[in-house]
């Protein structure tokens, strides 16, 4: 969705309210681990502020809080699970989120900030006893011992050397 920044740039309005609930289309996250991303609550505004570089006098800034829930795959059970996220942004509006000088693609901006919140691993599984098979079982890291390790003798030799 495009936000028109021309009234802000002309000084007609001091800020643009972007508080709304947005839903990103699947094209944004189809190649990531996110299965669904909807009802993203955004509370904030776009405003003009002093430029940090010497080329322009003013720049566009955005101050907002983004909250929502993404559905991702559980790292252990591979079931879809909800992962709540929250991000705050108060900085210069990056040019790559703009279609042109006066047009902001709000979805592109949201996605660029939400993608940073996708966890590398996330699980809601607490009971690992269900995950076992013929000759293997899933254990927690603190349960890990070397007593049944077939390579333990080899490790001893290494230590002796």
Partner 1 sequence: MYYKNLYRKEMIKNFIIIGIILFVAVFSTYHIYYAFSNTEEIDYSSTSLDITFHEETGEELDITKITPLTDSVGLSSKGHSITITNNLTEEVNYKIKIVDNEKKMQEQNCVGITIPREEIRVSIKQSGEETEVYKLSDLEDGVILSTRAKALEEEKYTIRIWVNNETSLPSGSKHHYHGLIQVVENDTTVAVR
> Which residues of the shown chain bind partner 1 in the complex (CB under 8 A)?
1-4, 7, 16-23, 25, 38-39, 103
Considering the complex, state which of residue 19 and residue 149 has its C-beta at the smaller distance from partner 1: 19
Shortest Cβ 61–partner 1 spacing (Å): 15
Dihedral angle computed from the Cα positions of residues 115, 34, 36 and 22, in that order, rounded to the nearest 10 degrees: 0
Pair 73, 35: CB distance under 8 Å: yes
Considering the complex, state which of residue 72 and residue 110 has its C-beta at the smaller distance from partner 1: 110
Shortest Cβ 105–partner 1 spacing (Å): 10
Considering the complex, state which of residue 4 and residue 94 has its C-beta at the smaller distance from partner 1: 4
Burial of 41: CB neighbours in 10 Å, binned 0-12, 13-18, 19+: middle
Shortest Cβ 13–partner 1 spacing (Å): 8
38 in helix, strand or coil? strand
Shortest Cβ 90–partner 1 spacing (Å): 19
Residues 6+ apart with CB under 8 A from 124: 74, 77, 81
Pair 62, 109: CB distance under 8 Å: yes
Considering the complex, state which of residue 39 and residue 56 has its C-beta at the smaller distance from partner 1: 39
Residues 6+ apart with CB under 8 A from 78: none
Shortest Cβ 22–partner 1 spacing (Å): 7
Considering the complex, state which of residue 52 and residue 82 has its C-beta at the smaller distance from partner 1: 82
């Amino acid at each position: 969705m495009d936000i028109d920044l021309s009234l802000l740039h002309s000084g007609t309005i001091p800020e643009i309210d972007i508080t709304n609930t947005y839903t990103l289309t699947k094209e944004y996250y189809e190649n990531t681990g996110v299965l669904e991303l909807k009802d993203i609550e955004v509370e904030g505004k776009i405003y003009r502020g002093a430029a940090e570089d010497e080329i322009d006098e003013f720049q566009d800034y955005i101050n907002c809080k983004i909250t929502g829930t993404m559905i991702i795959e559980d790292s252990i059970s591979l079931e879809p699970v909800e992962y709540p996220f929250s991000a705050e942004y108060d900085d210069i509006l990056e040019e790559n989120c703009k279609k042109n000088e006066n047009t902001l693609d709000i979805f592109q901006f949201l996605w660029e900030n939400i993608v940073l919140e996708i966890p590398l691993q996330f699980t809601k599984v607490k009971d690992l006893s269900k995950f076992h098979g013929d000759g293997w079982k899933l254990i927690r890291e603190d349960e890990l011992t070397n007593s049944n390790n077939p390579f333990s003798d080899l490790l001893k030799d290494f230590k002796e050397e």
